[in-house]
Amino acid sequence: MNNPSKNAWKFVICDPEKCSGCELCVYACSLKKANAFSPFKSRIQVIRFHPLLNLTVSCLLCDDAPCVKACPADALEQSKETGVILIDKEKCTTCGWCVQACPYGAMQIDLDAKVVFACDLCEGEPKCIEWCPEDALELGDKKAYSEKVHESIEKNELSQSPEVKKRF
């Protein structure tokens, strides 16, 4: 079986030029995954960096994922095919080490279920993308993500903003 290159792994990317910050993606995700309208149960979050710049944060499928490396219980594994973080709920101790290791804040703890979670791309059909009213979300790779974010930063003259500078 041919495994795609890590650079070709697709994840949910946001076009900051289109994102209004409405958070409908957050609620669509939490409804699909937890049967609840709760941002605490969502695998995607909306971050407002500046009045003109909204971005979503979900798992970016890191190469050699730090969350996987940080797990002392070996409860996490990264799919070689898709890059998605697979979570063994039986092994997870909710210690939170993976949450701390994630550089993007994409790993979270479900305190009710006592397990960690991250975006699993809804088995290839992410509800966040389906429900985004601005068509700001799509599946894309690291190159597409980087281009969209940097283009928006430059277009909105945000490259000198201290908040934006330290993150990008």
Co-location of 50 and 67 in the same domain = no
32-47 pLDDT tens trace? 999 999 999 999 999 9
Decide if pLDDT at 5 tops 80: no
Residue with the bigger pLDDT between 91 and 158: it is 91
Co-location of 26 and 47 in the same domain = yes
Co-location of 70 and 97 in the same domain = yes
Co-location of 104 and 130 in the same domain = no
Residue 138 lies in a domain: yes
Co-location of 25 and 48 in the same domain = yes
pLDDT of 148 reads 79
69-112 pLDDT tens trace? 999 999 999 999 999 999 999 999 999 999 999 999 999 999 99
What six digits make up the tokens of 151? 């283009």
Question: From the CB of residue 67, how many other CB atoms can be counted at a distance below 10 Å?
Answer: 24
Q: Determine whether 24 is exposed, middle or buried from the number of CB atoms within 10 Å of its CB (0-12, 13-18, 19+).
A: middle
- The count of structural domains within the chain is 2
Co-location of 48 and 71 in the same domain = no
Decide if pLDDT at 165 tops 90: no
Query: Could you tell me the residue range of the domain that residue 83 belongs to?
Result: 63-118
Co-location of 102 and 143 in the same domain = no
**pTM confidence score:** 0.84
